[in-house]
Amino acid sequence: MSTHVEAQEHAHPTPSTYAKIGLVLFILTALEVGLYEITFGESAGSFGHAIQPFFIPLLLFLSAIKFALVAMYYMHLKNDSKLFSGVFVFPLIIASVVILALVALQAYHWAFARSGG
Amino acid sequence: MTDHAHALETSTGLDSRKLAIWTFIGSECMFFATLISNYLVHKGKSLVGPFAHEVWKDPATGKVFEPIIEIPLVTVGTALLLFSSLFIVLALYGAQKGNRKMLIGWLAATILCGMFFVGMQVYEFTHFVHKGLTLSRNMFGASFFVLTGFHGTHVTIGVIWLFTMFILALRGKLTPNRSLNLEMAALYWHFVDVVWIVIFPVVYLIR
């Protein structure tokens, strides 16, 4: 088992792969800021207004891709033991649920307060 | 027997130190989840300005507070942190391959990026305080400074950790057998980066 795990742990990407991932991360960040400028920037036009409802989902999607790329390639979760992935992903799921639950709870609370309940 | 081979003699077949840093990172996910929740729950609940993206006029004094978020400055900081993640994996690659020049060069570049990021945050905080946003000014100020301040503290700790690795590398003590020491610091550094990947859109871009 040790030999198998050791082989898994050392099958890491090459510097050129790291550089390609870095380039993708940079492009995705530029896309995020570009999306913000198109939607809310000084030169935002009718197109900006049209995509406003999709702004947050698109931004979160781009952010999720960046997160996954860093975790999989730079943190080597793609090649390392699945136990490391489990130790990271399980609390991450709990953390995401906590954020969503608290935001939903507060949204409900404020809506209830506004309705005079 | 090398340090690395000795460390593999565990019931899981994995190095306990690496499992420990991953467990720590898992607990840090929960920590930052509470801070991000706190920010989101209080988003838009401030009764007085200044605000992140909107102009606010104080009805009592007539003073106008401009939006305080500066996207170009933070974008530069974000890019630096992303590049530092690339640089640290290249430094780790050098350490694992016994390439001392690669290790020291990329590690120095990572530390510089981290220091510039912290500098950017210090400038930003000072700028915000001058514009009237303090920890106790409004809900936005309280949740913003706590969230980004804790992240900045993590970056600062990361820079100090990487600097100790840099000293070890200069003294020739980061050999391929001992590269796990750098790998643990690198994992922490990447975590600090992924937290910022979430904070950047949530705090700075979403209105």
Burial class (CB in 10 A: 0-12, 13-18, 19+), B171: exposed
Please report how many Cα atoms fall inside a 13 Å half-sphere around the Cα of residue A89, on the Cβ side. 12
Number of structural domains in chain A? 2
Restricting to A residues 17-56, those with a Cβ less than 8 Å away from any Cβ of B are 18-19, 21-22, 25-26, 29, 32-33, 35-36, 40, 55-56
B108-133 confidence digits (pLDDT tens): 999 999 999 999 999 999 999 999 99
Residues A76 and A90 in one domain: no
Kindly list the structural domains of chain B, giving each domain's residue range(s) and its CATH number in brackets, ordered by start: 14-38+70-205 (1.20.120.80)
Residues A47 and A90 in one domain: no
Residues A92 and A53 in one domain: no
Residues A15 and A64 in one domain: yes
Q: Is A112 within 8 Å of B51 (Cβ atoms)?
A: no
- Residue B11 confidence (pLDDT): 82
Residues A27 and A72 in one domain: yes
Beta bridge partners of A1: none
Question: Average pLDDT over chain A, rounded to whole?
Answer: 87
Burial class (CB in 10 A: 0-12, 13-18, 19+), A93: exposed
- Residue A117 confidence (pLDDT): 62
**Residue in the block written with tokens 């871009």:** B205
Look up the pTM and report it.
0.91
A5-54 confidence digits (pLDDT tens): 444 455 678 999 999 999 999 999 999 999 999 998 877 788 888 888 99
Which among A62, A70, A92 has CB closest to B85?
Answer: A70
Residue B20 contacts A where some CB pair is shorter than 8 Å: no
What is the SS3 assignment for B188?
A: helix
Residues A70 and A34 in one domain: yes
Phi, psi of B120 (to 5 degrees): -60, -40
Residues A28 and A57 in one domain: yes
Residue B82, token pair as written in the block: 């992303």
Burial class (CB in 10 A: 0-12, 13-18, 19+), B136: exposed
Cβ within 8 Å, pair A18-B32: no
The model's confidence at residue A83, banded by pLDDT at 50, 70 and 90, is very high
Residues A33 and A45 in one domain: yes
Domain of residue A32: give its range: 1-80
- Residue ranges in chain B whose pLDDT is less than 50: 1-2, 5
Query: Considering only CB atoms, which chain B residues are within 8 Å of A14?
Result: 93
Residues A20 and A50 in one domain: yes
DSSP H or E run through B57:
strand B56-57
Residues A35 and A49 in one domain: yes
Residues A17 and A70 in one domain: yes
DSSP state of A14: P
- Residue A46 confidence (pLDDT): 83
Residues A99 and A62 in one domain: no
Give me the interface pTM, i.e. the ipTM.
0.90
